[in-house]
Amino acid sequence: MRKRSHRSRTVLAVAVAAALGVAGCDAVGDNSPAPSGTGKPSPKPTPLWDRSPSSVAAVGDSITRGFDACDVLSDCPEASWATGVSPEVDSLAVRLLGRAGAAERSWNYAVTGARMADLPGQLAQAVRRKPQLVTVMVGANDACRATPSAMTPVSGFRADFEDSLRTLRRALPKTQVFVASVPNLKRLWSEGRTSPMGKQVWKLGICPSMLGDADALDAAATERRDTVQKRVEDYNKVLKEVCAEDKRCRYDGGAVYDYRFGTTQLSRWDYFHPSVNGQARLAEIAYRTVTAKGP
């Protein structure tokens, strides 16, 4: 009787030890998943950047309005790099939404001649549509003044851009923002000055701080253009820095500034604003930035 009782206790002890051993492996994780409690997989977190937004609103200046792309001294929003529906451009909106979608769910609030100070007002209009993506291209007119001394100060440019993003965030905290760099105005002067017609149009008042006295190459003219160019570079630094502070903002990394516009990409009327071909190139840059896996 004692032997049988002793044998039973031994078997029971081995069984308990084995059970505790298995439980111990589960407790430290080993190779087995911990119980979830519900049996359902955890939902995937919402990404900060949606590479396929379903609506687009554009704000900015004459470039986004397609100025001089289709006709002399006229806006041509259908050729806009951001929201146009022209098949020759394949705008950002068309690439993201399709042509029918772009016609229904993209809006262009850019205004020819607009400066950074005008951006908060444009965004106030855009937020009424509740777009998932807002495109921003502005700054050229802040540098294109009657004289370099009349250019928007960098501090004011920064303050107005920060105010613009605050306007957007108060209304639409999750809307994404694509910011294009200011184009290289000095390169546009260098390309356009080869056109006699272009220089005649420039005399009507297009970017006089850079394009005035287009053929002058003396020290004063060179200094003037260099001053304007430095201001454009400073503006782009502001765009980059302010955008970086917003987790749902993507700057193009200077891609528009770096793009080497040739005469094919410039308006055949003013040789300064993008042509239809140039608008298509801007659309490509924007689409690459918006759909990239990372900024």
Kindly report, residue by residue over 182-204, the tens digit of the pLDDT. Answer: 999 999 999 999 889 889 989 98
* 16 pLDDT higher than 70: no
What percentage of the chain reaches a pLDDT higher than 90? 78
Q: Which residue has the higher pLDDT, 35 or 124?
A: 124
- Are the C-beta atoms of residues 183 and 176 closer than 8 Å to each other? no
Assigned domain for 206 exists: yes
Assigned domain for 12 exists: no
**What does the pLDDT look like over 224-280, one tens digit per residue?**
999 999 999 999 999 999 999 999 999 999 999 999 999 999 999 999 999 999 999
List the CATH number of the domain containing 158.
3.40.50.1110
Assigned domain for 22 exists: no
The whole model's pTM is what?
0.84
Please give the pLDDT value at position 12. Answer: 41
Domain span at 220: 56-291
Q: Which conformational region is residue 241 in: left (phi greater than 0), alpha (psi within -120 to 50 degrees), or beta?
A: alpha
Q: Domain tally for the chain?
A: 1
| Cα separation, 170 vs 56, whole angstroms | 18
Assigned domain for 19 exists: no
Assigned domain for 51 exists: no
Alpha carbon of residue 198 to chain centroid: 30
Please give the pLDDT value at position 198. Answer: 86
Please give the pLDDT value at position 48. Answer: 87
Average pLDDT of the chain is: 88
Please give the pLDDT value at position 251. Answer: 98
| Cα separation, 94 vs 103, whole angstroms | 8
- Strand intervals (E) in the chain: 56-60, 106-108, 133-137, 176-179, 249-251
Question: Which DSSP symbol is given to 57?
Answer: E
Assigned domain for 44 exists: no
Assigned domain for 31 exists: no
Assigned domain for 167 exists: yes
Highest mean pLDDT among 20-24, 96-100, 266-270: 96-100
The upper half-sphere exposure of residue 263, i.e. CA atoms within 13 Å in the direction of its Cβ, equals 10
